[in-house]
């Protein structure tokens, strides 16, 4: 009975303590030595997705501009009535793969976590936002695609040079048909194909006049876009990922004698290509986080002003990769965030360190990566308990905060 009364009194007292919030000041920082390891913040290893802390991997939206090449004199591609719907279906189906958790067939017996990629594709129009971002070009001078033979033009830039738009921020994708005469030839291979031109643009080649199976083409689109986002063919030895074993690149089981091992990795030539390894997803996110990269430019900059997708931390997390959040970041009571890399907060948003939570800045940078003003770092107090700020080592940076920089001027190793 006495215990109950005590508990009741404590509960009353706890409820009566109000929370105060204020901007962090230089005197709030507890300075300590950094005993952690030096971090390479753009190493793709550090971008491998931690599914228990997805808030630090916001979904990235890759902007695509779609072009259909054809000729009025001899139409051989998508028609302008049904084509846009078919192309939107292709993008939707590609996004379904990006969003699904796929188990990898290789390496055999692997226990890689089935991943979502935290990426999606969006079709983005040129200047007029009322357009759908799918453009039909009827041009007698532009060639059909010749994949091989005497007149092969796989590496041709004519269509890109003439019809590209906003290629500083949009990945232009051209759908081009095989030459009708080639299709009639028995010696010309006329399957679906794709060509990625460095990081500049994509060509998708197929039987677009008779397009019925978007699910067969989605893997070509995913494969080629992934090339643009730094992925290499995964059956080869040195593709930049340790979790993609070298193999014979069989299209399917028993397609060739001895084909008993078939991959479903998106970067293999396989009928089953739909899956990404942790390293591959990490490489793509590393390319998008790198400031000034082409891949980042193709990504919708939702991090500038924010989308309202707020991030929370309930436990302990060490930020070893660069990240651009799209809303407020709140460290809940009991949580610990160690910032060793660049962390961007959108304009008008803030970081809040709640009572009992700790933010440790260990060589990292808090800023807005678009150079806009974010509200700043806020510390909450309830009674005697307040959020803790720690400066580990001397190299922390705070930029673009409207409340001003709030780090102490000196640190233990600065003299
Ligand atoms: Zn390829």
Find the 114 Cα to ligand 1 centroid distance in Å.
Answer: 23
Find the 108 Cα to ligand 1 centroid distance in Å.
Answer: 23
Query: What is residue 413's predicted lDDT score, i.e. its pLDDT?
Result: 43
d(CA 201, CA 197): 5
> In tens digits, what is the pLDDT along the chain, a chain of 415 residues?
444 544 444 444 445 679 999 999 999 999 999 999 899 999 999 999 999 999 999 999 999 999 999 999 989 999 999 999 999 999 999 999 999 988 988 888 898 888 889 999 999 999 999 999 999 999 999 888 887 888 888 888 999 999 999 999 999 999 999 888 877 776 666 678 899 999 999 999 998 988 888 888 999 999 999 999 999 999 888 999 999 988 878 877 777 777 878 889 999 998 888 999 999 999 999 999 999 999 999 999 999 999 989 999 999 999 999 999 999 999 999 999 999 999 999 999 999 999 999 999 999 999 999 999 999 999 999 999 999 999 999 789 999 999 876 788 754 444 3
d(CA 124, CA 54): 26
What is the value of pTM for the model shown?
A: 0.92
Find the 67 Cα to ligand 1 centroid distance in Å.
Answer: 21
**DSSP codes, 109-161:** T--PPPB--SEEEEE--SS-TTS-SEEEEE-TTSPPB--SSTT--TT--HHHH
Q: Is residue 296 part of a domain?
A: no
- CATH code, domain with 231: 3.40.390.10
* 268 and 334 co-located in one domain: no
Find the 233 Cα to ligand 1 centroid distance in Å.
Answer: 6
290 in Cβ contact with 261 (< 8 Å): no
Find the 224 Cα to ligand 1 centroid distance in Å.
Answer: 6
* 269 and 390 co-located in one domain: no
Find the 272 Cα to ligand 1 centroid distance in Å.
Answer: 15
Q: Is residue 295 part of a domain?
A: no
Find the 397 Cα to ligand 1 centroid distance in Å.
Answer: 40
Q: Is residue 285 part of a domain?
A: no
Find the 202 Cα to ligand 1 centroid distance in Å.
Answer: 11
* 323 and 270 co-located in one domain: no
Note down the domain range covering 377.
16-43+306-398
Find the 372 Cα to ligand 1 centroid distance in Å.
Answer: 38
d(CA 50, CA 55): 10
Find the 74 Cα to ligand 1 centroid distance in Å.
Answer: 30
Query: What is residue 170's predicted lDDT score, i.e. its pLDDT?
Result: 98
Q: How many domains does the chain have?
A: 2
- How many residues are there in the chain? 415
d(CA 368, CA 354): 21
Find the 284 Cα to ligand 1 centroid distance in Å.
Answer: 15
Angle made by CA atoms 277, 48, 333, in degrees to the nearest 5: 140
* 88 and 136 co-located in one domain: yes
Q: Is residue 254 part of a domain?
A: yes
Q: Find, among 140, 94, 133, 139, the residue nearest to 117 by Cα.
A: 94
* 98 and 177 co-located in one domain: yes
Find the 17 Cα to ligand 1 centroid distance in Å.
Answer: 61
Question: Which residues touch 251 (CB under 8 Å, ≥6 apart)?
Answer: 259, 262, 269, 270, 271
In this structure, what DSSP letter does residue 403 have?
A: T
Find the 237 Cα to ligand 1 centroid distance in Å.
Answer: 15
Find the 266 Cα to ligand 1 centroid distance in Å.
Answer: 9
* 125 and 233 co-located in one domain: yes
* 143 and 181 co-located in one domain: yes
Query: What is residue 210's predicted lDDT score, i.e. its pLDDT?
Result: 87
CA 17 vs. chain centroid, Å, equals: 42
Residue 391 three-state SS: strand
Find the 232 Cα to ligand 1 centroid distance in Å.
Answer: 7
| pLDDT tens-place string over residues 149-181 | 888 888 889 999 999 999 999 999 999 998 888
Query: What is residue 294's predicted lDDT score, i.e. its pLDDT?
Result: 98
d(CA 378, CA 38): 27
Find the 204 Cα to ligand 1 centroid distance in Å.
Answer: 12
Find the 97 Cα to ligand 1 centroid distance in Å.
Answer: 18
* 97 and 207 co-located in one domain: yes
Find the 269 Cα to ligand 1 centroid distance in Å.
Answer: 8
Find the 267 Cα to ligand 1 centroid distance in Å.
Answer: 6
Find the 47 Cα to ligand 1 centroid distance in Å.
Answer: 23
Q: Is residue 297 part of a domain?
A: no
282 in Cβ contact with 49 (< 8 Å): yes
65 in Cβ contact with 135 (< 8 Å): yes
Axis crossing angle, helix 214-228 with helix 83-99, rounded to the nearest 10: 60
Find the 93 Cα to ligand 1 centroid distance in Å.
Answer: 20
- First-last CA distance in the chain: 59
Find the 252 Cα to ligand 1 centroid distance in Å.
Answer: 17
**DSSP codes, 327-342:** S-EEE-TT-EEEE-SE
Query: What is residue 149's predicted lDDT score, i.e. its pLDDT?
Result: 81
Residue 171 CB burial class (10 angstroms; 0-12, 13-18, ≥19): buried
Query: What is residue 187's predicted lDDT score, i.e. its pLDDT?
Result: 65
337 in Cβ contact with 364 (< 8 Å): no
Residue at a domain's end among 254, 276, 298: 276
Q: Is residue 288 part of a domain?
A: no
Q: Is residue 63 part of a domain?
A: yes
* 37 and 69 co-located in one domain: no
Find the 382 Cα to ligand 1 centroid distance in Å.
Answer: 57
Q: Is residue 373 part of a domain?
A: yes
Find the 234 Cα to ligand 1 centroid distance in Å.
Answer: 9
Query: What is residue 372's predicted lDDT score, i.e. its pLDDT?
Result: 97
Residue 226 three-state SS: helix
* 147 and 235 co-located in one domain: yes
Q: Find, among 21, 4, 20, the residue nearest to 12 by Cα.
A: 4
* 20 and 79 co-located in one domain: no
d(CA 221, CA 4): 65
d(CA 237, CA 118): 26
* 265 and 317 co-located in one domain: no
Find the 303 Cα to ligand 1 centroid distance in Å.
Answer: 30
- If one counts every other C-beta atom within 10 angstroms of the C-beta of residue 183, the result is 15
Find the 256 Cα to ligand 1 centroid distance in Å.
Answer: 20
């Amino acid at each position: 009975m006495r215990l109950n009364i005590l508990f009741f009194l404590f509960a009353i007292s706890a409820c009566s303590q109000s929370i105060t919030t204020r901007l962090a000041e230089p005197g709030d920082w507890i300075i300590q030595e950094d005993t952690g390891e030096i971090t390479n913040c753009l190493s793709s290893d550090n971008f491998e997705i931690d599914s228990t802390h997805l808030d630090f991997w916001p979904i990235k939206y890759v902007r695509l501009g779609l072009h259909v090449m054809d000729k009025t004199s001899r139409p051989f591609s998508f028609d302008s009535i049904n084509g846009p719907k078919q192309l939107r279906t292709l993008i939707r189906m590609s996004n379904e793969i990006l969003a699904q958790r796929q188990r990898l067939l290789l390496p055999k017996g692997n226990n890689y976590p089935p991943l979502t990629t935290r990426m999606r594709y969006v079709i983005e129009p040129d200047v007029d936002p009322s357009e759908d971002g799918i453009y039909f070009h009827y041009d007698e001078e532009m060639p059909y695609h010749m994949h091989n033979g005497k007149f092969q033009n796989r590496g041709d830039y004519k269509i890109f040079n003439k019809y590209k738009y906003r290629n500083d921020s949009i990945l232009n994708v051209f759908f081009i048909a095989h030459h009708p005469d080639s299709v009639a030839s028995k010696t010309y291979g006329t399957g679906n194909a794709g060509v990625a031109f460095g990081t500049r643009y994509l060509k998708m080649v197929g039987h677009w006049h008779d397009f019925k199976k978007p699910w067969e083409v989605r893997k070509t689109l995913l494969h080629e876009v992934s090339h643009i986002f730094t992925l290499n063919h995964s059956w080869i030895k040195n593709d930049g990922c340790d979790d993609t074993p070298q193999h014979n690149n069989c299209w399917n089981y028993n397609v060739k004698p001895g084909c008993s091992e078939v991959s479903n990795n998106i970067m293999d030539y396989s009928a089953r290509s739909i899956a990404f390894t942790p390293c591959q997803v990490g490489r793509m996110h590393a390319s998008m986080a790198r400031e000034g990269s082409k891949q980042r430019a193709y990504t919708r900059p939702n991090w500038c002003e924010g989308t309202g997708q707020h991030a929370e931390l309930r436990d302990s997390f060490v930020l070893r990769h660069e990240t651009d959040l799209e809303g407020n970041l709140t460290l809940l009571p009991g949580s610990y965030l160690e910032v060793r890399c660049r962390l961007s907060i959108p304009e008008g948003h803030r970081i809040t360190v709640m009572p009992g939570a700790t933010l440790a800045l260990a060589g990292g940078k808090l800023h807005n990566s678009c150079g806009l003003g974010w509200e700043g770092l806020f510390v909450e107090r309830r009674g005697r308990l307040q959020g803790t700020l720690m400066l580990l080592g001397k190299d922390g940076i705070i930029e673009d905060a409207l409340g001003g920089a709030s780090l102490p001027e000196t640190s233990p190793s600065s003299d």
